Amino acid sequence: MIAITFARHGALAPFEKAMMGAGLAPVVLAVIQLLFGRQVGDKRPGERLALALSELGPAFIKLGQVLSTRSDLFGEQVAEDLAKLQDQLPSFSAFQARATIEKELGAPIEELFAQFDDEPISAASISQVHYAITRPDKDWPEGRPVAVKVLRPGIEEALKADIELLLWMAYLIERTQPRLRRLKPVEVVQTFSATVSVEMDLRLEAASAAELRQNFGGDPTYRVPDTDWRRTAKRVMTQERLTGIPMDDRMGMLAAGLDIDDVLAKAAAAFFNQAFRDGYFHGDQHPGNMTVGYDGAIQVVDFGIMGRLTKRTRYFLADMLLAFLQRDYAKVAQVYVDAGYLPGVRTVEDFTLALRSVGEPIHGRPLQHISFARVLGQLFSIAESFDMEVQPELLLLQKNMLMAEGVSRRLNPNLNIWTLAQPLIEQWMRDNRGPEARVAQATEEALFIVRRFPSVMRNMDRLLHHLAEGGLKLDPEALQVINRQGSNWWLWLIIAVLVAGLLFSGSEQNIYVLPDVPADIPLDRGETVP
């Protein structure tokens, strides 16, 4: 059925490539193409793929959204086409929505809301949203306008079945088609499954919204809806209703008397603060999820996809981009080396040359003609060609940068949105990557090691004790490594014990040792037994 749907939209090429040399499978696919294939005009491969996924239903629509963040795997054009995948399905009945709300919240609709609109304002693959007004209370004497999100009936079971099928297909591809393993099909499906699991529990989405709202507490330029936790459960989420102008509606903003450049400045600042100040960002900031309040504030909804960047990742990203903009390509390469991203089999000089091929063509061009999102994407592509792993969170960030630049150019083609955040960027760089900041960071790390040293020594003593008691069994490969080290094996063992003691010193519960195991019972490699 999946192959037939792909054939109808002219999107069967991935299957043909995956099954090449797999027995009769290519013949079967050729027959399917002959029977069900049709002319697709001048549509790009990504557009055809989006149409096929859309027809296959909720799980495949969500998978397409996840794939749209992986330009490293499928190329920028396919990722961009998949980003336009419309997550819209026919609505389910108001009777079903009401029944779900009453079951989840344990009360009749009339007790929860003074008014509930049966006609949903939007219907997506996993849920739909209804407007309502809460019952009056001391905080809202006239009732509070809210938006109520309700999961589709039976969506959990349907998605579980589809995910199991997709995972089976991914494992099959990895086992039978080594050349396609670089696309990491199993990892992609597992990432997709993790994303969907959050969207299947609306309490988790509400928690994501609460964290983002807290990060922008006291900032009137960025608005996240407040969650009504009393009317929120696993399959129902009630949030403050936000009304405004679609983020890409230039004429609507002008009619409301808003300054376009001021709106873009707020959007750029919000994006930068999420990514660099907080390390926690809205991962799906397209115009359908963003509006502009009539006071000019940026407003967001839908928190099913969120991204998180560690402080180390933010520092890496900042150092890389700063050196790149300064045309110091050797420094960019060194940033990758220091982060441990550049494999030892490739030379720094080769990597530096590849970086220069990206940077020099944009040097001297007007800022409004430069897409920093595409530059970042090219840097990630080069990294991938050098067998480096690119974090999915960085790819998600780059996808959102592309969306932001696209909206910005529709609103003001002569403006580069990132120049509007320049004062924030410069201040953050001074506070976090300047000489004083680096000294403070080094001091903090040294103090951290000093504070943990007693714990490290305790854990090293415990590990040595287990070693002396015979409780630590070495893998045959480890023994071969020790033999190759000759008389220095004991030095490497002590270093390993020290490192293990440092890694596991955070908590007594994090200590793992191997118990005595009979010699005739082999242990699986990598297995730890508490």
Q: Is residue 512 over pLDDT 50?
A: no
pLDDT at residue 233, as a whole number? 97
Q: What's the pLDDT score for residue 253?
A: 96
CA nearest to 224, candidates 138, 275, 285: 285
Residue 11 has pLDDT above 80, yes or no: no
**Candidate from 87-96, 213-222, 376-385 with smallest mean pLDDT:** 376-385
Does pLDDT of 432 surpass 60? Answer: yes
pLDDT at position 188: 78
The answer to the question of residue 445 being in a domain is yes
Mean pLDDT calculated for residue range 111-128: 93
Catalytic residue among 72, 87, 228, 284: 284
Domain that holds residue 249: 244-433
Task: Report the chain's C-alpha Rg in angstroms.
Answer: 27
On whether residue 477 sits in a domain, the answer given is: yes
Residue 100: DSSP 8-state: H
Strand partners, 437: none
**Which pLDDT score is estimated for 467?**
62
Confidence (pLDDT) at 87: 67
Band of pLDDT at residue 251, cut at 50, 70 and 90: very high
The answer to whether 395 and 280 have CB atoms below 8 angstroms apart is: no
Nearest partner of 309 among 344, 274, 334, judged by Cα: 274
For residue 107, is it within any domain?
A: yes
For residue 91, is pLDDT > 70?
yes
Q: Which amino acid is at 518?
A: P
Question: Are 83 and 94 contained in the same domain?
Answer: no
Tens digits of residue pLDDT in 280-311 = 999 888 888 999 999 999 999 999 889 999 98
Residues 249 and 331 in one domain: yes
Identify whether 284 is a catalytic site residue.
yes
- Between 362 and 97, residue with greater pLDDT: 97
Task: Assess if residue 344 is contained within a domain.
Answer: yes
**What's the confidence (pLDDT) of residue 425?**
78
- Min mean pLDDT across 47-51, 131-135, 142-146, 227-231 is at 47-51
Considering the domain architecture, whether residues 334 and 354 belong to the same structural domain is answered as yes
- Please check whether residues 295 and 416 belong to one and the same domain: yes
Q: Tell me the pLDDT of the chain averaged across its residues.
A: 78
Of 437-446, 478-487, 513-522, minimum mean pLDDT range: 513-522
Q: Over 60: is that where the pLDDT of 105 sits?
A: yes
Same domain, residue pair 177 and 256 = no
Q: How far is residue 479 from each of residues 351, 373, 397, 462, 482, measured CA to CA in Å?
A: 36, 48, 43, 22, 5
User: Of 78-87, 131-140, 322-331, 357-366, where does mean pLDDT reach its minimum?
Assistant: 78-87
Last residue of a domain, which of 57, 87, 117? Answer: 87
The residue among 64, 87, 110 that closes a domain is 87
Residue 65 pLDDT greater than 70, yes or no: yes
Residue 397: inside a domain: yes
Q: Are residues 418 and 493 in the same domain?
A: no
Distance CA 279, CA 261 (A): 25
- Domain C-terminal end among 215, 241, 267: 241
Mean pLDDT, residues 43-58 taken together:
78
The closest of 108, 105, 106, 145 to 129, measured between CA atoms, is 145
> pLDDT confidence of 52, banded at 50, 70, 90?
confident
Residue 97, pLDDT above cutoff 60: yes
Give me the number of domains the chain comprises: 4
- Same domain? For 290 and 421 the reply is yes
Please state, as a whole number, how many other Cβ atoms lie within 10 Å of the Cβ of residue 192: 23
Classify residue 314: in a domain, yes or no. Answer: yes
Does 517 map to a domain? no
CA-based nearest residue to 463, from 505, 513, 506, 499: 513
471 and 427 in one domain? no
DSSP secondary structure letters along 32-95: HHHHH----TT--HHHHHHHHHHHH-HHHHHHHHHHTT-HHHH-HHHHHHHHT-----PPPPHH
**Are both 257 and 397 inside the same structural domain?**
yes
Q: How far apart are CA 113 and CA 115, in angstroms?
A: 5
Q: Which pLDDT score is estimated for 25? A: 47
Sign of CA dihedral 75, 76, 77, 83: positive
User: Does 251 share its domain with 378?
Assistant: yes
- Please answer whether residues 147 and 241 qualify as being in contact, where contact means their C-beta atoms are separated by less than 8 angstroms: yes
In a domain, 96, yes or no: yes
> Does residue 41 share a domain with residue 19?
yes
Mean pLDDT over residues 46-55, rounded?
A: 79
Q: What stretch of H or E contains 396?
A: helix 392-411
Tell me, what's the pLDDT at 201? 93
Q: Tell me, yes or no, whether 416 and 459 share the same domain.
A: no
The three-state (H, E, C) secondary structure of 20-36, written as one string? CCCCCHHHHHHHHHHHH
Please determine, for residue 42, whether its predicted confidence score (pLDDT) is greater than 80.
no
- Structure token digits, residue 382: 């080069």
**Looking at the predicted structure, is the pLDDT value of residue 475 above 60?**
no
Q: How far is CA 260 from CA 12, 249, 263, 289, 369, in A?
A: 43, 10, 5, 18, 19
88 versus 499: the higher-pLDDT residue is 88
